[in-house]
C-alpha cells in the first residue's frame, strides 16, 4: 500500500510541503516537534484539527507565526512543516485505532532505492503481527517484484518466526534488502522448495482427511436396505453378530469416529505420523458426539487416546505434553471402567486377559516417558518397572511360534493365541481353532440371512412393490416377512388416503404446528404424523424414542410413493431407486470413496492387539531412558536379558534364525472401533468372507459391510 502525505494549505501564501526528504527539512520538523512537545500541543486534536480531520487554519497560522522566529525560518516554511506534521499525526492516529479494533498493524517499508518510484512517497503494508515473517516476505516479493530479500527491524528478522515474536510493532519500520550472497541465495532456494513441499504435503493431508470423512459419511447414511452386493454399508453388531440398536445420530457419529480411527491407524502402520494424528484427532471429535455412557463403557476410546499420544512421541511433539498427559489419564480411566479394576469384566467375557496386556504395556511406557520429560524420575522408574514386567510376560517362545505356524496358523494367530493362553502351546492351538470355528459359523449365518433376504425381496417385488421399498420394509421389520408386508400395506393405504384428499389429516398444519411447538423439526414432524396416521400423541412418542431424528428407512416409509403400481409391477430392473444419484459421475465418485475407505479396514478384528513390541523396545533403548536404566540396575538387567528378537525386531523368520530369538515381527497395530460389550465386523459382499475390523467380545464393536 502506498500512501502520499499531502497537506492542505491553511493560507494561500503558504507553500504546501510533501514528505521532507532533505536534511534541512528533517531538521526543521525535528525542531518544531520539540517545541510542540514542550508546550504539550497535539496537532491532531482541536483546535488544530477539526472533527473532519481538516486543519484549523486560524490556530495553525498563529502557531506558525509564533514558532517562525524561534527556528529562524519564514512563517510560510514553518506553516508548511507544521501542516506536514499534523497530517502525519492524524493518519497515525487512524492507524492506531485500526490496530486497537481489528489488530491490523501498519508497517513502513524502506525499499531499495531503485524500487522507490517517488522518493517523497512512503510505502506501507498492513498486516497482523501474529503471522510468520515469511508471509510478509512473500507479499513484498509479489507486490514489488523482488526475489531473495531479507527484512530488517533492528536486526535480521527470521523467516520462520512471527513478527511480534521478534519485536515488530505497529508503525515499525521494516528495511527491505536484497540478498546478493550466492550461498545464501542457494540456501533460500532450498528453503523455498522445502516450504512448497510442506504446503503440498499439507494439502495432501487435508485432501486425504476430507476423502476419508466423506467416504465414511456416505457409509453412515446407508441403512442396509439396499442390495449389499452393490451398496456396501456398515452395521454395528454384538459379538454374536446381532445388530445393535443405536440412535441414528449417535450411530452416524460412531461410524465416522471408527472410520477415521481406522484410517489413522493404517497411516501409523506406514509411519506417516503427521498425517495419522490429523485423522486420529478428527476421530476424537466424532467420539465426543457419542453419549458419555458409550465412551465410558468401550475400550475403543481409550485405544484412540493411546494412538494419539503414540503419534505425539513419534513426532517428538514436546509442546503437546499437557494434552498427552490428560489423554493418557482418560485412557487409563476408560480401561479400568471397561475391563474392571482387576480386569474381572474382561476375564468374564473373554475368558482371558493376555492379549489386552499389550495395551497396558504401551500405556505405562508412554506414562513413563511423560514423567521422565517432567523430571519426575521416581514415577518414571515405577512405570518403567511395570513395562519391564509386562514385557517379560509378553515375549514368546520362538519354538512354540514355529510349531503353531507349522499347524497352518498364521503368525498373528499364533502370537495372539499364545498370549491369550499365557504361553501354553496346547491351549493356544485349541483357542485358535475355536476362534476360527466361531468366525466360520458367523459367516454361514450371514450367508443364510442374505439368501433369505433376497428371496423375500423377490417375493414382495412380485406383489408389485418396488425393490427399494421392499428392502426397506424388510430392514425395518428385522427380516420378518409378515411384518414387512404389513408395513408396505399400511404405507399403501396412507398413500391412497393422500391421493383422495389433498389435505391429509396426518399432516394437517395444526398438528404439525403442535409438534413444532414441542421443538421438533418440520420435516420429521410431518413424517412422524404420516407414520402414525395423524395421531399427535403417537407421533410425539415416536420422535422422543428416536431423539427427534428419524432414520432414513422410517423417512422413506413415511413417503406416499410406496404403493404398488396397478398396471405394472415395479422391479429392480425397471424402476431405479429414487435415492440413486442423479448422475453416474456422482455415483462413481461415491463408490470410489467407499471402496477407498474400506481398503483401510483391518482384515482381522484383533489386529490392534497384534503388536510385536518392536517399536516399544526401540523406545526403551533410546537415550530418553538411559538415565532411568542407570538408576535401576534391576530394570537394565532384565531388559538386557530379554530375548534377542524382542529388542532387535525384524521378521519372525529373521528372529528365528538368531540365537535366543523369542519375539517376531508382525503387522503393526491395527485399527480400532467402538461399542459397548460388542465388536464390529466388516465384510464385503463381493469378497466373502467377512472383512472384520478388530474387536474382541469385550467392550468393543465390530462392523461389517453388506450385512443382512
The tens digit of pLDDT for each residue in 64-111 reads 899 999 988 898 888 888 988 898 888 888 888 889 999 999 999 988
If one compares 537 and 21, the residue with the highest pLDDT of the two is 537
Residue 278 has a pLDDT of: 92
Residue 368 has a pLDDT of: 93
Of 706, 681, 705, 695, nearest to 442 by C-alpha is: 681
Residue 704 has a pLDDT of: 43
Give the least confident one: 209-223, 573-587, 689-703. 689-703
Specify the 3-state DSSP secondary structure of 253. Answer: helix
Same-domain pairing of 155 and 82 = no
- Is 546 a member of any domain? yes
**CA 8 → CA 81, 216, 662, distances in Å?**
11, 66, 90
Q: How many domains does the chain have?
A: 4
Same-domain pairing of 236 and 291 = yes
The distance from CA 265 to its chain's CA centroid, rounded to whole angstroms, is 13
Grid cell at residue 258:
471408527
Query: Is pLDDT at 540 greater than 90 in this prediction?
Result: no
Residue 625 has a pLDDT of: 65
Position of cell 466373502? 688
Task: Tell me how far apart the alpha carbons of residues 178 and 689 are, in angstroms, rounded to a whole number.
Answer: 66
- Is 303 a member of any domain? yes
Alpha helices in 103-247 (DSSP H): 133-144, 182-221
Give the least confident one: 322-336, 456-470, 571-585. 571-585
Of 678, 682, 673, nearest to 706 by C-alpha is: 682
Q: How far apart are the first and last CA of the chain?
A: 65
The tens digit of pLDDT for each residue in 370-413 reads 999 888 889 999 999 999 999 888 888 888 989 999 999 988 88
- Is 283 a member of any domain? yes
CATH number of the domain residue 143 falls in: 3.10.20.90
Residue 659 has a pLDDT of: 35
Same-domain pairing of 510 and 555 = yes
Same-domain pairing of 516 and 528 = yes
Q: In residues, how long is the chain?
A: 708
- Is 454 a member of any domain? no
- Is 450 a member of any domain? no
Same-domain pairing of 271 and 252 = yes
Specify the 3-state DSSP secondary structure of 139. Answer: helix
**Last residue of one domain, picked from the residues 522, 541, 568:** 568
Find the domain containing 506 and state its range: 464-568
Q: What is the 3-state secondary structure (H, E, C) of 427-451?
A: HHHHHHHHHHHHHHHHHHHHHHHHH
Region 265-285: what's the mean pLDDT?
92
Region 454-478: what's the mean pLDDT?
84
> Phi-psi region for residue 284, left (φ > 0), alpha (ψ -120 to 50) or beta?
alpha
If one compares 458 and 675, the residue with the highest pLDDT of the two is 458
Same-domain pairing of 409 and 310 = yes
Task: Tell me how far apart the alpha carbons of residues 492 and 490 are, in angstroms, rounded to a whole number.
Answer: 5
**Last residue of one domain, picked from the residues 163, 180, 197:** 180
Same-domain pairing of 352 and 399 = yes
User: Percent of the chain at pLDDT above 70?
Assistant: 75
Same-domain pairing of 318 and 393 = yes
The tens digit of pLDDT for each residue in 500-522 reads 554 444 477 778 878 887 778 77
Same-domain pairing of 217 and 283 = yes
The tens digit of pLDDT for each residue in 608-641 reads 888 888 888 888 887 556 666 655 544 433 333 3
Query: Is pLDDT at 348 greater than 80 in this prediction?
Result: no
Of 619, 611, 612, nearest to 649 by C-alpha is: 612
Residue 242 has a pLDDT of: 65
Residue 683 has a pLDDT of: 34
Of 233, 116, 102, 110, nearest to 174 by C-alpha is: 110
If one compares 606 and 137, the residue with the highest pLDDT of the two is 137
- Is 349 a member of any domain? yes
Residue 494 has a pLDDT of: 63
Question: In terms of C-beta density within 10 A (0-12 exposed, 13-18 middle, 19 or more buried), how is residue 537 classed?
Answer: exposed
Mean pLDDT score of the chain: 76
Residue 325 has a pLDDT of: 92
**Last residue of one domain, picked from the residues 544, 568, 592:** 568
Specify the 3-state DSSP secondary structure of 618. Answer: helix
- Is 695 a member of any domain? yes
Are the CB atoms for 232 and 613 separated by under 8 Å? no
User: 2-6, 15-19, 518-522 — which one is most confidently predicted on average?
Assistant: 518-522
- Is 575 a member of any domain? no
Residue 330 has a pLDDT of: 92
Same-domain pairing of 123 and 242 = no
DSSP per residue over 529-584, as a string? HHHTTT-HHHHHHHHHHTTT---HHHHHHTSTT-SPPSSS---TTTS--TTS-SSH
Same-domain pairing of 93 and 110 = no
**Number of Cβ within a 10 Å radius of residue 355:** 23
Same-domain pairing of 158 and 176 = yes
Query: Is pLDDT at 272 greater than 70 in this prediction?
Result: yes
Amino acid at each position: 500500500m502506498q500512501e502520499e502525505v499531502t497537506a492542505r494549505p491553511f493560507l494561500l501564501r503558504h507553500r504546501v510541503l510533501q514528505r521532507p526528504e532533505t536534511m534541512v527539512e528533517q531538521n526543521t520538523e525535528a525542531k518544531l516537534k520539540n517545541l510542540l512537545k514542550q508546550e504539550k500541543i497535539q496537532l491532531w486534536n482541536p483546535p488544530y484539527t477539526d472533527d473532519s480531520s481538516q486543519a484549523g487554519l486560524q490556530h495553525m497560522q498563529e502557531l506558525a507565526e509564533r514558532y517562525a522566529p524561534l527556528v529562524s525560518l519564514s512563517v510560510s516554511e514553518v506553516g508548511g512543516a507544521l501542516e506536514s506534521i499534523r497530517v502525519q499525526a492524524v493518519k497515525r492516529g487512524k492507524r492506531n485505532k485500526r490496530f486497537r479494533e481489528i489488530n491490523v498493524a501498519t508497517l513502513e517499508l524502506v525499499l531499495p532505492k531503485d524500487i522507490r518510484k517517488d522518493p517523497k512517497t512512503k510505502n506501507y503494508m498492513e498486516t497482523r503481527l501474529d503471522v510468520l515473517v515469511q508471509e510478509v516476505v512473500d507479499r513484498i516479493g509479489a507486490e514489488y517484484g523482488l526475489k531473495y530479500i531479507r527484512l530488517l527491524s533492528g536486526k535480521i528478522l527470521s523467516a520462520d518466526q512471527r513478527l511480534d515474536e521478534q519485536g515488530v510493532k505497529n508503525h515499525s519500520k521494516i528495511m527491505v534488502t536484497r540478498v546478493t550472497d550466492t550461498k545464501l541465495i542457494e540456501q533460500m532456494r532450498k528453503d523455498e522448495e522445502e516450504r512448497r513441499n510442506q504446503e503440498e504435503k499439507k494439502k495432501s493431508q487435508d485432501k486425504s482427511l476430507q476423502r476419508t470423512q466423506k467416504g465414511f459419511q456416505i457409509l453412515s447414511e446407508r441403512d442396509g436396505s439396499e442390495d449389499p452386493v452393490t451398496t456396501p454399508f456398515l452395521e454395528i453388531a454384538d459379538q454374536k453378530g446381532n445388530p445393535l440398536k443405536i440412535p441414528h445420530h449417535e450411530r452416524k457419529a460412531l461410524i465416522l469416529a471408527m472410520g477415521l480411527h481406522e484410517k489413522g491407524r493404517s497411516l501409523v502402520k506406514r509411519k506417516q505420523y503427521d498425517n495419522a494424528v490429523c485423522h486420529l484427532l478428527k476421530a476424537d471429535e466424532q467420539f465426543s458426539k457419542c453419549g458419555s455412557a458409550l465412551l465410558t463403557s468401550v475400550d475403543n476410546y481409550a485405544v484412540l487416546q493411546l494412538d494419539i499420544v503414540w503419534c505425539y512421541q513419534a513426532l517428538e511433539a514436546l509442546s503437546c505434553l499437557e494434552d498427552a498427559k490428560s489423554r493418557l489419564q482418560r485412557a487409563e480411566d476408560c480401561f479400568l471402567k471397561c475391563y474392571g479394576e482387576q480386569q474381572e469384566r474382561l476375564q468374564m467375557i473373554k475368558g482371558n486377559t493376555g492379549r489386552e496386556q499389550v495395551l497396558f504395556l504401551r500405556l505405562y511406557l508412554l506414562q513413563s516417558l511423560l514423567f521422565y520429560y517432567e523430571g519426575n524420575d521416581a514415577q518414571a522408574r515405577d512405570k518403567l518397572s511395570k513395562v519391564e514386567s509386562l514385557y517379560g510376560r509378553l515375549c514368546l517362545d520362538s519354538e512354540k511360534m514355529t510349531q503353531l505356524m507349522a499347524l497352518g496358523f498364521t503368525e498373528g494367530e499364533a502370537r495372539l493365541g499364545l498370549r491369550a493362553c499365557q504361553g501354553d502351546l496346547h491351549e493356544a492351538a485349541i483357542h485358535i481353532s475355536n476362534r476360527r470355528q466361531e468366525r466360520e459359523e458367523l459367516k454361514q449365518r450371514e450367508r443364510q440371512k442374505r439368501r433369505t433376504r433376497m428371496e423375500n425381496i423377490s417375493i414382495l417385488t412380485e406383489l408389485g412393490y418396488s425393490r427399494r421399498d421392499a428392502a426397506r420394509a424388510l430392514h425395518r421389520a428385522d427380516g420378518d416377512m409378515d411384518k414387512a408386508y404389513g408395513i408396505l400395506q399400511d404405507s399403501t393405504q396412507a398413500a391412497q388416503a393422500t391421493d383422495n384428499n389433498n389435505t391429509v389429516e396426518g399432516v394437517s398444519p395444526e398438528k404439525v404446528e403442535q409438534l413444532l411447538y414441542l421443538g421438533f423439526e418440520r420435516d420429521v414432524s410431518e413424517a412422524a404424523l404420516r407414520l402414525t396416521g395423524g395421531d399427535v400423541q403417537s407421533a410425539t412418542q415416536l420422535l422422543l424414542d428416536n431423539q427427534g431424528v428419524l432414520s432414513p428407512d422410517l423417512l422413506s416409509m413415511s413417503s406416499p410413493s410406496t404403493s404398488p403400481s396397478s398396471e405394472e409391477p415395479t422391479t429392480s430392473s425397471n424402476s431405479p431407486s429414487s435415492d440413486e444419484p442423479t448422475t453416474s459421475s456422482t455415483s462413481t465418485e461415491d463408490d470410489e470413496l467407499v471402496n477407498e475407505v474400506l481398503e483401510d479396514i483391518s482384515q482381522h478384528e484383533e489386529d490392534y492387539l497384534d503388536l510385536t513390541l518392536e517399536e516399544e523396545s526401540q523406545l526403551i533403548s533410546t537415550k530418553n531412558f538411559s538415565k532411568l536404566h542407570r538408576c535401576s540396575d534391576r530394570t537394565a538387567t532384565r531388559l538386557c536379558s530379554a530375548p534377542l528378537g524382542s529388542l532387535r525386531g525384524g521378521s519372525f523368520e529373521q528372529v528365528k534364525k538368531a540365537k535366543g530369538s523369542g519375539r517376531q515381527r508382525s503387522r503393526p497395530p491395527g485399527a480400532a472401533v467402538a461399542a459397548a460389550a460388542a465388536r464390529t465386523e466388516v465384510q464385503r459382499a463381493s469378497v466373502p468372507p467377512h472383512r472384520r475390523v478388530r474387536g474382541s467380545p469385550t467392550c468393543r464393536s465390530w462392523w461389517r459391510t453388506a450385512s443382512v
